[in-house]
Amino acid sequence: MGIYTRLIVKAASLVLVLIAVLFFMVVILGATGVSDRILSSLVSEEVRLYRQSVAPQIKDPAALEEAVTKFREERIKSYGLDRPWHERLPDMFLRVLMLDLGRARLAQTFAGSNKISDIMLERLPNTVILVTTAIAINFLIGIFLGVRVAAKPGTRLDRITSFLSAVSYAVPTWWLGIIFILVFAFYLRLFPYGGLYSAPAPQDPLLRVLDILWHAALPVTVLVLVNVGLTIYVTRTIVLNIAQEDFVNVARMKGLPEGLINRRYIMRVAAPPILTNVILGLAGSIGGAILTEAVFSWPGMGSLFFEAIVQSDEALVLSLVYMFTIVYVAGRFVLEVLYVVVDPRVRV
Amino acid sequence: MSILSRENFRIFFSTWSGRAGLSLLIVLSAISIYTLIYIPVPEVSIHWNDPQYWADYPKNAPPVWVNPFLERKLLETQVFQERNIEVVGRGRVAEFFVNYQYDAFPTHITLIVSDLSYPSRAPVLTLSVVRPDGYSLEAAKIPVPPPRPDEQSPYVRFSLKPERVLVSSSDELVREVYKIYLDRLGAQVTPTKIMQEGPQKYLFGVPQDGKIVPLKGVYRFTLTATQNEGRLSIESVQIILGGEMYGFMGTDVIGRDLALGLLLGFPISLFVGVISSVIVTGLGAALGLISGYFGGRVDNIIQRFADFINNIPVLPLLIFLVFSFGTKLWIIIVAFVAFGWPGLTIVTRSIVLQLRESQYVESARAIGASNLRILARHIFPNIAPFILAQVIFLTPSFILLEAALSFLGLGDPSLPTWGQILELGFRSAAVYLGYWWWIIPPGVLIIITALTFVMISLGLEPVINPRVRAVGRR
C-alpha cells in the first residue's frame, strides 16, 4: 500500500466513524423525543419572528392570529414534526451535520450572537489550542523522561516514576484543577481564577499574548500533570523492551557510541509504538480537556458543555458532542499522517 | 494451578502495593458496610436535597476541629435536647446549661417543641434565660393552641409538624434585651439596632468600650409551663444555638452535614465502580471468547463494532447518552457498559485465538468434546486470572468516570455522591471563597478509592504475568 492509499483509507474510515456517530446520535435523539423538542423550539422561534414581521401589516387581531397559525402549521410540516421520528432521520442527520440547530438558550458569542453555529466557531479554536498545547507538552516531557528512566531500570527513580504514574491515573483532572485554583489563585494569588483574558484585555499584542499565557498556565499544567505519568511509564516500557533486543546488543558490541545507539537503534524503532500511544490517548485528552475547561472557565467547547447541561440546552449538547467527534477525528488524522512520517515500514 | 492458590497469595502479599491496596479495600468496605447498616440511606437521600430539613444547620460552616487552630474561637453549632418530659401542673419543663466560652456570637437561636399533649387547659410555654451576670430575661413565649369544640382530651399538638420558634427574631427577646441594656448595663442602644444586629448578640454579650463583646460563662435556659392543669407531656424539646462551625466535616451552602454526604459516597462509589467493571469485563470477555473461538462472520461483526467504539471519543458520547436518557444510576452504568467492553474483547480474542490452536484443545476436539465443554474446561480456566485482574484494573476508571459525570451535573440526583458534592461546591463558588473543607475531602476520597484498586492491580501483576516477577523482586 502506498502512502496515499493508506492515508485515503484512514481518512475514509475516520469519516465513516463520524457518520456512524452522527447516525447513532440522531437515532437516540429521535427515540428519546429530544429531537422533537429541538425542532419545536426552532418552530416557535420562527413563529415569533414571523409574528413580529407581519404584525405591522395585519391590523386585525383575528387575521393576525390566523396568519400566524397558518405559518406555524406550515413550519411544522416543513420540519416534519407531523411525521414519526424515524421518517425524519435523514433530515435531522443533515441538520446536525451542517450545525443548523437554531439558537442556544442562554449561551452567546462574545459579540452577542446566540446562533449555535456562531458559538461553535468561536469556541472551537480555544479548545484546539488548549488540547494541542497540553498534548504536545505532555509528550515532550513524557518521552524525554521516559527514555531517561528506561536507561536505569529497577532503580529507585524507576520505581518512583512507576508509582507516580499509577497515582496520577487515580487523580481526577478536574479535581486537581479545583485544587490548583484554591492554592494558586485563592491562597497564593499568583494566577487568575480562570478565563482567557484579563478584563479588560490588554491592547498591546505582546501583552495580550502574555496575558493569555498567564491564563493558560494553570489549565495546561493540570492537563499535563495528570497525563504525563502514564506517558513516561509507557515510553519507558516500550524503550526498555527495545533496548533488550539483539540488534541493540550487537550495536553495543560493535562499540557504537551510546548516543548513536539511542537515536538510531532505539528511538527509531520506539517512535511508531509511542506515537500509537499518543493516538490512543487522544480520546482521553479530549475528555480531560472538557472537564478542565469547565473548571477554569476556559471559553472553549468544554466549559460550554458545563453550561449547556445545567441549562438543559439539548441542541447545544448535541452540537458539542458532534464538534468533539470532529475534533477527535481530525486529530486522529493528523496523527496518522505523522505516523506515516515516523514509520518507514508503511511507506514501502 | 488455581488462581486462588497459596503460592499466588504469597506473591501478591510480597508486593507492598498489594498489601496496601488490600488493606485500603478492607477499610473502604468496612466504612461502606457501617454506612449501610447505621445510616438509613433511603431516608437520608430524601432529606439530602430538602433545604427545609437543613434550615437549622449553619451554612458553609468549617468543621469543628479547626477551632483549636484559630485565634478567635468560633461557635460550634450546639443542639440541646430533652426527651419524654412529663409535668404536672405549672412548672419547669426543661432546663439547659450552656457553657459559653467563645469569641463570637450565635447566628441564631431556635426552640423546637414536638409532640405535646395536655389534658384540659391549653398551657403557655415560656423560655427564660439567666445570664452569667445574674440578669434574667424572658426570651420567648409559645401559646399552645386551645382545644377545638369537637375535640376529646388529651389534646395533642405539634405532633405532625414540630413547633419551631426562631427565638433570635422574637419581639419578646428584643424588648427584654433592650430593657436590660437600658436599665442595668447602662448602654445606649435602640430596639431597631438590636433587631438589625440580632438580639442573640446582645443576649450573649456585654457592652465594652462602645462595642458588644461576648460574655463568657454559664447561661441557664429554662422552659416553663404556665397556665397548665393536670399532666402535660412533651416528646422532645430542643434548643439550637446556630454556630459558624459544624460537625466533623463542616457543612455546605444549604447547611447539609458534609460528613453524612461523604459517608454515603463510600457504598455508592464502590458499587458503581465494581458493578460496572464486573458487567463490562463479563460482557467484554464473553464477546472476546465467542469472537476468538468461533471466528468467521460473528468474529467479524464483533470486531468491527469494537473497532468503532474504540475509535470514538468516549466522554462526549457518555455525556450525550446520560443527558438524553436521564440521570439515573442504572442508565449511567448501562452507558459505561456500552462504551467499556471493546478493549477487553479485542485482547481476549487474541489470547483465545492462540489457545484455540493449542494441542490440548485439538486433542479435546479429537475425542469429541463439545464446543461448550472445550470453552468451559480448557479455554476459560486459562484466561480466568487475566479476567479477574481486568475487573480490578477497570474499576477505578468507572469510579472516576462516575465522579466526572456527577461533576458535570449528570449524577443521579437521588443519591449523594462525592462528585455531586464537588459539583455543588464548584457551582456555588466554594473554590473562590476558599471553603476548602467542602472541596478537598470528596476529591481525596475519590482518589483513595481509585488508588485502592490501582494498587491491588499492581500487586496482581506478578501473579498474572510471571515475567514481571523477576523485575518485581529485584
Domain assignment of residue B144, yes or no: yes
Whether residue B154 has a cis bond before it, omega within 30° of 0: yes
Q: Is A295 on the interface with B (CB under 8 A)?
A: yes
- CB B410 within 8 Å of CB B323: yes
Q: Quick one: B268 and B196 in the same domain?
A: no
Residue B253 lies in a domain: no
Picking from B275, B274, B299, the residue whose alpha carbon sits closest to that of residue B289 is B299
Range 20-49 of A in CB contact (< 8 A) with B: 20-21, 25, 28-29, 32, 34
A333 touches chain B (CB under 8 A): no
- A30: cell is 429521535
Mean pLDDT of chain B: 87
Same domain, B340 and B278: yes
- CATH code of the domain containing B447: 1.10.3720.10
- 3-state secondary structure (DSSP) of residue B128: strand
Residues A129-146 have pLDDT tens digits of: 999 999 999 989 998 888
Considering B185, B210, B242, which residue would you say is the last residue of a domain?
B242
What chain B residue is nearest to A331 in terms of C-alpha separation?
B313
Query: What nine digits make up the cell of A198?
Result: 484579563
What is the phi/psi pair of residue B161, to 5°? -125, 115
Residue with the three cell numbers 420562527? A46
* Cα separation, B201 vs B173, whole angstroms: 11
CB contact under 8 A, A318 and B320: yes
Cis ω for the linkage preceding A200 (within 30 of 0): yes
Contacts of A47 (CB under 8 A, 6+ apart): A68, A71, A72, A75
pLDDT reading at A82 higher than 90: no
Q: Is pLDDT at A254 greater than 50 in this prediction?
A: yes
Q: Which residue does chain B place closest to A25, by CA atoms?
A: B320
Average pLDDT over residues B39-60: 84
Same domain, B22 and B90: no
The distance of A195 to chain B (nearest Cα, Å) reads 14
Contacts of A3 (CB under 8 A, 6+ apart): A340, A346, A347
pLDDT at residue B474, as a whole number: 31
Same domain, B90 and B165: yes
| B438 within 8 A of B252, measured Cβ to Cβ | yes
Q: How confident is the model at residue B470 (pLDDT cuts 50, 70, 90)?
A: very low
Q: In angstroms, rounded to a whole number, what is the distance separating the alpha carbons of residues B8 and B58?
A: 52
List the single residue in B with minimal CA-CA distance to A167: B451
CA distance B218 to A247: 85
Chain A residue at shortest CA distance from B473:
A154
> By three-state DSSP, how is residue A195 classified?
coil
State the total domains in chain B.
2
Cβ contacts below 8 Å, chain A against chain B, sum to 130
Q: Inspect the interface and report whether the beta carbons of A169 and B396 lie closer than 8 Å.
A: yes
Chain A, residues 303-322, CB within 8 A of chain B, namely 305-306, 309-310, 314, 317-318, 320-321
Q: Kindly determine whether residue A179 and residue B319, on different chains, have CB atoms separated by under 8 Å.
A: no
What ipTM does the predicted assembly reach?
0.86
Name which of A17, A305, A317 is nearest B312 (Cβ-Cβ).
A17
In a domain, residue B1? The reply is no
Q: Are residues B305 and B453 in the same domain?
A: yes
Which of B212, B242, B272 is the C-terminal boundary of a domain? B242
Please indicate, yes or no, if residue B55 is contained in any of the structural domains. Answer: no
Residues B35 and B68 in one domain: no
In DSSP notation, A42-69 reads HHHHHHHHHHHHHTTT---HHHHHHHHH
**Per-residue pLDDT reduced to its tens digit, A308-334:** 888 888 888 888 999 998 888 888 888
The pLDDT value given to residue B469: 46
> Same domain, yes or no, for B217 and B343?
no
B180-195 pLDDT, tens digit per residue, is: 888 888 777 888 888 8
Residue A348: which pLDDT band, with cuts at 50, 70 and 90?
Answer: low
8 A C-beta contact, residue A102 and residue A275 = no
Chain A hits for B321, CB-CB cut-off 8 Å, are: 28
Closest residue, chain B, to A37 (C-alpha): B324
Pair B90, B116 in one domain: yes
Same domain, yes or no, for B186 and B124?
Answer: yes
Domain assignment present for residue B53? The answer is no
Report the pLDDT averaged over residues A285-295.
Answer: 89
Of A29, A170, A179, the CB nearest to B324: A29
Question: Is residue B24 a part of any domain in this protein?
Answer: yes
Residues B287 and B377 in one domain: yes
Interchain contact, B319 vs A309, CB within 8 Å: yes
pLDDT tens digit sequence for B197-224: 888 888 898 888 878 888 889 999 999 9
The answer on B107 and B208 residing in a single domain is: yes
d(C-alpha B336, C-alpha B450), whole Å: 16
- Which of residues 110 through 169 in chain A touch B, CB cutoff 8 A? 153-154, 163, 166-167, 169
- Residues of chain A numbered 216-235 and touching chain B (CB < 8 Å): none
CA distance B343 to chain A (A): 11
Q: Cα–chain-centroid distance for residue A186?
A: 28
Q: Is residue B177 part of a domain?
A: yes
Tell me, yes or no, whether B370 lies in a domain: yes
- Residues spanned by the domain of B271: 6-43+258-473
Shared domain for B113 and B214, answered yes or no, is yes
The C-alpha cell at B363 is: 486433542
- Which of A157-171, B122-136, B235-249, B268-282 ranks highest by mean pLDDT? B268-282
Q: Please state, in angstroms and rounded to a whole number, the distance separating the CA atoms of residues B67 and B74.
A: 7
What CATH number does the domain containing B222 carry?
2.60.120
SS3 content of chain A, % helix, strand, coil (to 5): 80, 0, 20
* Chain A contact set for B427 (CB, 8 A): 310
